[in-house]
Structure 1
Amino acid sequence: MIYLVAGARPNFMKIAPIIRAIQKHQNELSYKLIHTDQHYDKAMSQVFFEELGIPEPDFHLGCGGGTHAVQTAKIMVEFEKVCVAERPDCLLVVGDVNSTLACSIVSKKLGIRVAHVEAGLRSGDMSMPEEVNRIVTDSISDWFFVTEPSGEANLLAEGKPRENVFHVGHVMVDNLYYQMARLDAVADKLETTALKRKLGKYGVVTLHRPATVDNPVLLKSVCQVLDECAETLPLVFPVHPRTRNSLNRMDFKFSEYVHLIEPQSYMAFLNLWKDAQLVLTDSGGLQEETTAAGVSCLTLRDNTERPITVEQGTNTVVGTDCDNIRSHFRRVLASETQGAKPELWDGQSSDRIVQHLIRLI
């Protein structure tokens, strides 16, 4: 019995292909899906699970809201109850959210083995809550499934046993290919299709990290350069709730060339960004998905924990300096996208993980 834990929507994109892989081996493995409700939108929950082709969670822990400390503590208390009631043989966590950290700690205290998917990624930026979560989770995990060579190198440098570190590729890419194959069947029903037809050529923007959106001076500066860039290429900006709150407090109005829309479902957003001329983002996952799909990406951060997207893929880390954003924006539009698909980003990563788990457990 494996417990699969997810707390935020990007986690489910990584969990979904693992569930499909486990279902191929029902005589050897079983699972239960735990949603900590770290991020939870009741209105979108059902459609989200339907889009990903996975069942509703077996447990909802109801631990959304609060500071990092409050949220982490609530998840630990509620998850412990689930583990004590039915002790699993292994906990599998993905990514770097508070749920990843909290459930890993609880499991280790109870003597339950922990497998971390997307292990070993490091930005070197300890001001990022995700970096703290990654480091602490990896410090107590038993098995490490890494997406790229840098993850393996980081873990070995930190003293992890080589026999417990597995380079398997990326489960988010598994999910991307699975969803892209299904997209044509539903595209005409998606609102983003009409917007794409209206705009023709366009770029996509996402911003949600506190370091950017909670800093009014920096956010206004970034918005100003985005507004300027949109005169050359219209930009579509699905606005994260946190970002929306900051924009509402700020004395700035975008021009008609920046199209502010509500957060989108997975398929609607995939339908939008996959055909963009470029993506500007501070998201970690989108750096990887754009690399897998061959879409140019400008990362509006000073660092990345996913260096392979820069070394081999279509991603460029440009920071938040306006001149840098502007110059790279022009460069991308003046050149054709170039980039290679990283090793093992082939849609089979989840199958490799499950094969390892069958052997290890």
Structure 2
Amino acid sequence: MSDTEIAIVLGTRPEIIKLAPVIRACESQDVQYTVIHTGQHYSEELDAVFFEQLELPEPDYNLGVGSNSHGVQTAEMLVGIEEILQDEEPETVLVQGDTNSVLAGAIATSKLDMELGHVEAGLRSFDRDMPEEINRVVTDHAADYLFAPTVDSADLIREEGIPEDRIYVTGNTVVDAVEQHREFAQEKSAILDELELVPSEFVLVTAHRAENVDDEDRFEEILDGIARVADRFDVDAVYPIHPRAENRLDEFDISVPDSIRLVEPQDYLDFLNLESNARLILTDSGGVQEEACILGVPCVTMRDNTERPETIDVGANTLAGAETDEIVDSAIEMDGAVCDWTNPFGDGEAGEQIITEVEQSETPKELEMTPQ
């Protein structure tokens, strides 16, 4: 019988970052844990380097699944995760977010005599065309612990009929991660000098979601909008290009406007430093919306919806869609924003609280088996 109490399943850069505080909480509370890395992000720049940079131990397992269709990728993960869980026999399995790694971890755990905890539960875009939305919903309804980042997200899952005793409002571990690494990034990162950037005199861009970059017309509209924003503010738009987006640029033979500077994908500390010093952030990433809000940098989200509505509610973010004119108008609006909003994602203690709840709480399955 293994001594493992908690198994942590992850597979992408955002999961590594957001689960780092949970891993540290396991260590600080002397909880035996194992890390299962699916290898969903197969690029060194987007993946393994984060463990070294965040001073995390290497994963105990790496499935090396890489890229494939959603079904094939998820199936390969499911088989590998199940085999490891059967060997390790943890009491609880933790997953975070909405990726295929999360879905595979949730399904594998739900078939075994183990508890499932979903970190960042209750996020909803209400867009069932997004694979991530399906992953979120299925994982929430399979989970025994739903760690909601905000009261609003907890309310959403209550409305779906999930029992109250499964729901815990903990804040978001992204706050822990940003607070733990922001000063370190400023001290250790030389990315501003390397790219010859002046603080508050550049716009930072991320665009990688399938609905944006896999549609040639939509991708071109977004790039045109970004370029026009850069020209309007007389600054460069710095775009660390995701491999998926780079492949689409080649496939569609899209010419990138001169005012958009394509750079290599950045490691976490360098990217955090870029975020901290940007005049404005244009993104389609959920995690970047959160980080921008926490860092006090105005954000424009180039999507038709968001599962982070709290960032909009506090005035840190706005939805622009993918049309050029809307992106420009939204950027002008947010560039004039007063950046004094209150961070809605908690106090930076989410990781510790999650591990404490898992260690101290009687889970719903245990309660069901307790004689009344």
TM range (shorter): over 0.9
CA gap 1:294/1:198 in 2 versus in 1, 3 angstroms: closer
Give the drift of 1:185: 2.8
- What secondary structure does 1:332 align onto? helix
Q: Which amino acid aligns with 1:360?
A: S
Which residue number in structure 2 is paired with residue 272 of structure 1?
A: 274
Q: For 1:199 and 1:175, how far apart are their aligned partners in 2?
A: 22
Aligned partners of 1:193 and 1:272 also within 8 Å: no
Which deviates the most, 251-260 or 50-59?
A: 251-260
Aligned partners of 2:6 and 2:92 also within 8 Å: yes
**1:220-245 deviation per Cα after TM superposition (whole angstroms, max 9, x unaligned):** 11111211221123210111111111
Which residue number in structure 2 is paired with residue 19 of structure 1?
A: 23
Q: Superposition pairs for residues 184-263 of structure 1, below 5 Å? A: 184-187=186-189, 190-197=190-197, 201-231=201-231, 232=233, 233-263=235-265
Q: For 2:55 and 2:13, how far apart are their aligned partners in 1?
A: 14
Which deviates the most, 62-71 or 128-137?
A: 62-71
CA gap 1:90/1:234 in 2 versus in 1, 3 angstroms: same
Which residue number in structure 1 is paired with residue 9 of structure 2?
A: 5
Q: For 1:173 and 1:120, how far apart are their aligned partners in 2?
A: 17
Give the drift of 1:207: 0.4
Q: For 2:279 and 2:196, how far apart are their aligned partners in 1?
A: 12
Does residue 34 in structure 1 map to residue 36 in structure 2?
yes
CA gap 1:43/1:181 in 2 versus in 1, 3 angstroms: closer
**1:158-203 deviation per Cα after TM superposition (whole angstroms, max 9, x unaligned):** 111112201100101101111102123312xx33433253586010
Q: For 1:30 and 1:199, how far apart are their aligned partners in 2?
A: 42
Which residue number in structure 2 is paired with residue 296 of structure 1?
A: 298
CA gap 1:68/1:44 in 2 versus in 1, 3 angstroms: closer
Q: For 1:305 and 1:39, how far apart are their aligned partners in 2?
A: 22
Q: TM-score, normalised by structure 2?
A: 0.92
Aligned partners of 1:220 and 1:250 also within 8 Å: no
Aligned partners of 2:317 and 2:334 also within 8 Å: no
**1:140-170 deviation per Cα after TM superposition (whole angstroms, max 9, x unaligned):** 1111001112210111111111122011001
Give the drift of 1:337: 2.7
Give the drift of 1:290: 0.6
CA gap 1:44/1:123 in 2 versus in 1, 3 angstroms: closer
Q: For 2:308 and 2:196, how far apart are their aligned partners in 1?
A: 29
| 5+ residue gaps, structure 2 | 363-372
Give the drift of 1:42: 4.0
Which residue number in structure 1 is paired with residue 117 of structure 2?
A: 115
Q: For 1:46 and 1:12, how far apart are their aligned partners in 2?
A: 9
Aligned partners of 1:313 and 1:341 also within 8 Å: no
Q: For 2:46 and 2:216, how far apart are their aligned partners in 1?
A: 29
CA gap 1:271/1:84 in 2 versus in 1, 3 angstroms: same
Which residue number in structure 1 is paired with residue 180 of structure 2?
A: 178
Which residue number in structure 1 is paired with residue 369 of structure 2?
A: none
The alignment of Structure 1 onto Structure 2 pairs a total of residues equal to: 356
- What secondary structure does 1:280 align onto? strand
Give the drift of 1:292: 0.7
- What secondary structure does 2:252 align onto? coil
Give the drift of 1:338: 4.0
CA gap 1:15/1:334 in 2 versus in 1, 3 angstroms: closer
Identity %: 38
Task: Give the CA RMSD over aligned residues.
Answer: 1.6
Aligned partners of 1:196 and 1:272 also within 8 Å: no
Q: TM-score, normalised by structure 1?
A: 0.94
- What secondary structure does 2:277 align onto? coil
Which deviates the most, 76-85 or 294-303?
A: 76-85
Q: For 1:316 and 1:218, how far apart are their aligned partners in 2?
A: 19
- What secondary structure does 2:197 align onto? helix
Which residue number in structure 2 is paired with residue 142 of structure 1?
A: 144
Which residue number in structure 2 is paired with residue 320 of structure 1?
A: 322
Aligned partners of 1:313 and 1:340 also within 8 Å: no
Which deviates the most, 261-270 or 319-328?
A: 319-328
CA gap 1:350/1:43 in 2 versus in 1, 3 angstroms: closer
Q: For 2:102 and 2:267, how far apart are their aligned partners in 1?
A: 23
Which residue number in structure 2 is paired with residue 349 of structure 1?
A: 350
**1:96-142 deviation per Cα after TM superposition (whole angstroms, max 9, x unaligned):** 10011111111111121100000011100011110000011111111
Q: For 2:48 and 2:118, how far apart are their aligned partners in 1?
A: 26
Q: For 1:157 and 1:46, how far apart are their aligned partners in 2?
A: 38
Which residue number in structure 2 is paired with residue 101 of structure 1?
A: 103
Q: For 2:143 and 2:58, how far apart are their aligned partners in 1?
A: 27
Q: Which amino acid aligns with 2:210?
A: P
Give the drift of 1:215: 0.5
Q: Which amino acid aligns with 1:220?
A: E
Q: For 2:57 and 2:243, how far apart are their aligned partners in 1?
A: 26
Aligned partners of 1:292 and 1:345 also within 8 Å: no
Give the drift of 1:332: 2.5
Q: For 2:208 and 2:150, how far apart are their aligned partners in 1?
A: 25
